[in-house]
Structure 1
Amino acid sequence: MDPNSSGRGVRQFKTYLLHRLEKDEKDTQRRLASTDAKEIQRFYEHYCKKYLEEGLQTRKPDEMARYYQIASVLYDVLKTVTPDKPNSEYDQYAKGVEKEKASFSHYNILPLNISGPTQPVMEIPEIKAAVALLRKINNLPTPRPDTTNGPQGIDDGPIVRDLLDWLWQTFGFQKGNVENQKEHLILLLANIDMRGSGNVHQGERQNH
């Protein structure tokens, strides 16, 4: 067809053809979007089952941290392709994923709040004593839920495992700073405990 043709019939045909192409393109996009959403849903289910549920007790914490991070990204993609289709099933599951992802956050030395097998370093008596000391918060008031501060519990309440979590939720400290200070404080308390025990043993040896 000559694009420069100006006849009435030619112009009508060109206009009809353009409208038809635009309509077909929109219909194709809708079908692809629907197919993409279903494919991502299936892949999200498969990924979570294979990498998050199976072998949880045997995988290393840093490995699980990567898997949970990827699952979180997949859910963000799923929400992007289905913005007008709320799915309570996926939302609830993703909420649990986010909660567990926080448990598998990267750490420097101490794997605090890690699901799965207990790491050997956490079995050191002085470390266990320091962790237990920080978790004596029964008499403190429960912080108000704040969804902007981090992961919430199943009942939408704040997750408070110890004194540092309580300070974070109550006063809004940065989560990363709290985790670093928590590890530092536990190591400091454990070191003081070890030194005290060493001095006691040394004194006992001198008395003998």
Structure 2
Amino acid sequence: MSLSLRAAICMVAIIAIWFVAIINFIVESFFTVPLAQFTKIVNPEETVIEFPLAFRRRWKTDIIYPPATVDVSGNRVFLKPGKYIVFYDDSYYWVSEDFVIVDHASMDEITSFPVVGGLNFVLVEGVYKAIDNNIDDFTGAVEGILAERRISRLVAYFDYRNNTLFLRRGITIKVLDWEKLSASKELLLQLENASDRSEYIFLSDGKLLRAR
């Protein structure tokens, strides 16, 4: 096969691809219409949302599901429930158990629940997810503390970046080992009736020392 013939074949192929692309664009423009897509959210109080639009062709319908949801078939999606409140980018959000942002937090919720801060969130497949080193030990401690109401109501703020725990009485605890704190969380009850605003250090061996 000569060089000129090969070049001619390549040129014909390029023109054919370009022609098909033009036809596809025309078809998409004239035969695709936006359609309001109502999706049932499966939770204790079933909610119907519109997000965003489905694009219906005569031969196919493309439906875009909301981020941070799980498809459970039957045109339904499960919205991950919020488990923790986090402070990120000057706003407060609810995050799921795996620390994916799922909703904004209201002012009443912020004052009623402990807040987690100091986490880095990155956009991954349409959702914002916390990705930090050793985050599992930290989240395990948070879950363990929040699991007991008497202890969780003492806590105002978990600061992951600065390894600090702030209590509602104004007491600051520098945490050197979050995993050990989760195992020894009853020590926080010792500060339940503290009248001062001292600073404490939680050591890796499980001891809670007063710094000043």
* TM-score, length basis structure 2: 0.29
The structure with the largest strand share of the pair is 2
* TM-score, length basis structure 1: 0.30
Larger relative contact order (CA 8 Å, sep ≥ 6) = 1
The structure with the largest helix share of the pair is 1
Larger radius of gyration: 1
